[in-house]
Amino acid sequence: MTNGFQKPYPLNFRALTTDSQPVPDGRNWILLEPLVYLCKDGRLVRARVGSTTDGISTPQSIWNIIAPIGKYWFSGVLHDSGYRETMEISTDEGVTWNPYLCPEGVYDDMIDEALDSQDASWIEKVTIYKALEIFGHTSFAEDQKLANQPRSLTSGTVS
């Protein structure tokens, strides 16, 4: 089963498809293929196969405007992979991949950049970023408990 987003990726996303399938919780999806993204600064990162996502984290009250699984799906997948510790980085053009554990602000900045690559409007970006600002700390902490590997919020090192 796929999520229906089998189309060319926006600038900076490097995978060919976004094959995924729903998870029994009814809210999340699991990636069947990696989602690769080239950051403006040259970092090559990916959400690995098996990563889970709930798409763009927006309040349910605005899903008719910015749906969690829709136009900005790729950016949401990328961001969730960081928060959920399934993001990887390659320093050799994708030959090998290693875990990419960072403070939440790195992933928040990355989604901002990814939304730019998907041509999000200023108001869409502000709405998504404000939702992250309000609810992101809680999500990051919850994801860290699940991963059982808390990270410092000010450094990219594992605590």
**Distance from C-alpha of 95 to C-alpha of 12, rounded to nearest angstrom:** 18
Residue 13 lies in a domain: no
Strand 44-47 relative to strand 35-38: parallel, antiparallel, unpaired? Answer: antiparallel
Residue 65 lies in a domain: yes
Residue 155 lies in a domain: no
Strand 20-22 relative to strand 52-53: parallel, antiparallel, unpaired? Answer: unpaired
Domain that residue 35 falls in:
20-147
**Per-residue model confidence as pLDDT tens digits over 102-155:** 998 899 899 999 999 888 999 999 988 888 788 776 777 777 666 654 444 433
The tally of CA atoms less than 13 A away on the side-chain side of residue 139 is 22
Top mean pLDDT of 66-70, 86-90, 123-127 is at 86-90
Residues near 147 by beta carbon (within 8 Å), at least 6 away in sequence? 84, 85
Residue 156 lies in a domain: no
Residue 27 lies in a domain: yes
Select from 72, 81, 76, 52 the least CA-distant residue to 124: 72
Residue 55 lies in a domain: yes
Angle at the Cα of 106 from the Cα atoms of 65 and 3, rounded to 5 degrees: 40
Percent above pLDDT 70 for the chain:
81
CA 11 centroid distance within chain = 16
Overall domain count for the chain = 1
* Between residues 64 and 158, the one the model is more confident about: 64
Mean pLDDT value across the chain: 81
pLDDT at 156: 39
pLDDT at residue 64 above 90?
no
* Between residues 37 and 7, the one the model is more confident about: 37
* Between residues 16 and 115, the one the model is more confident about: 115
pLDDT at residue 9 above 80?
no
pLDDT at 11: 64
For tokens 């997948």, the residue is 77
Q: Which pLDDT band holds residue 17 (cuts at 50, 70, 90)?
A: low
How far is residue 137 from each of residues 24, 103, 142, measured CA to CA in Å?
A: 25, 11, 9
Residue 29 lies in a domain: yes
Angle at the Cα of 145 from the Cα atoms of 102 and 91, rounded to 5 degrees: 25
pLDDT at 10: 55
pLDDT at 146: 66
Q: Which DSSP letter does residue 24 get?
A: T
Residue 152 lies in a domain: no
